Amino acid sequence: MSTTETPQTDSTRPAAPTVPGTALVVGASGITGTALVEQLTREGWDVLALSRRASSSDGVTGIAADLTSAESLRTALADAKPTHVFFAAWQKRDTEAENIAVNGAMVRDLLAALDHAPVRHVSLVTGLKHYLGPFEAYGTGDMPDTPFHEDEERLPYPNFYYAQEDELFAAAERQGFTWSVHRSHTVIGFAVGNAMNMGLTIAVQAALSKRLGRPFTFPGSETQWNSLVDVTDAGVLAEQMIWAATDPAGADEPFNIVNGDVFRWRWLWPRLAGHLGIDPALVEGFEGEPRPLEQQMAGLEQEWRDLVAEHDLAEPDLSRVASWWHTDGDLGRDIEVVTDMGKARDAGFTRYRRTEQAFVDLFERYRAARLIP
């Protein structure tokens, strides 16, 4: 008995996979940018990855540009035609006035360089300094009560987050795209050489403490040790940014973004120590006063190089794997920091990530990349 195949016509032939769009990730080598590139690639986007040093891979076209140079951006993006922009870059300066000038200009010049492109949506990452104040007035004055909500009024201080938002709003009005702002807490994720990398910093602290037989000491304040707190996994942040860029419910809105759970460092610190191979007898919590990492870990550059050689690790420069100053600032705060996720949940973004597991998975990834032993 023979069978006859029915010829495929245009109406019966399976449709070709639809590419969601062309995404431009600005700050592609950072923690958030790395997570964005990975998630967008998984979802089948064409990805343009902009950073100071271009790096291309399957499905990703690298673009090298200096974000502080309007001319560099114009040249680099002359032929780029992104439909969606994900802005995840900033630069720290000595004063907030300088932060405002530099970071506001980066958003303005990047979007102006895309005035020829069919941009439909721009997602911008900022953070909780929107509620807590800039570096120069951090945690002072009349801050809103926790948990933080998106409808809080701006604080009466100059703040580069506000400048970035204003540049975004102005460009959206001129160029006709929708926007979203994503206010993350401390972002934990995979990157090397990032100025604000708590996950890798804690892992490096543990590795050095273990090598030297020192206690694995919580560096922060009594308030941070005992209070409820939350953090943001970079993958969750990336997913929210993509959701807002593609779902009408995310258009023209600011959203808080954290993992969805809360914890106390007095609970999490010994658990992280266990995941990092620290003897429980060498785990120390808050004891009377903060013990900053910049002091605890001072002068250990050669110890790190020796550890790298002993374990055949990939990065001998301690300054590229540990951001002591940032983790000190984060864990040294004398204020409670808890973030409300109700607005995003009501709009349809329901992603959740257990924070302890986020750290565990991150440590495993850093081990696989030979960045920690």
- The catalytic residue positions are 129, 161
Structure tokens, 299: 């002068």
Phi, psi of 32, rounded to the nearest 5 degrees: -70, -40
CA angle (84, 87, 91) in 5-degree steps: 165
Please give the full DSSP string across 132-153, using - where no structure is assigned.
H--GGGTT-SSPPPSSB-TTPP
Give the residue from 90, 97, 86 showing the smallest Cα distance to 34: 86
Structure tokens, 251: 């258009």
Contact (Cβ atoms closer than 8 angstroms) between residue 219 and residue 332: yes
Q: How far is CA 165 from CA 15, 42, 300, in A?
A: 40, 29, 40
Q: How far apart are alpha carbons 132 and 130 in whole angstroms? A: 6
Q: Which residues make Cβ contacts (< 8 Å) with residue 198, sequence separation at least 6?
A: 186, 188, 231, 323, 326, 327, 330
Q: How far apart are alpha carbons 13 and 80 in whole angstroms? A: 32
CB-hemisphere CA count at 13 Å for 28? 27
Helix intervals (H) in the chain:
31-42, 70-76, 96-112, 129-132, 160-175, 198-212, 222-226, 234-246, 265-275, 293-296, 301-311, 324-331, 342-347, 355-368
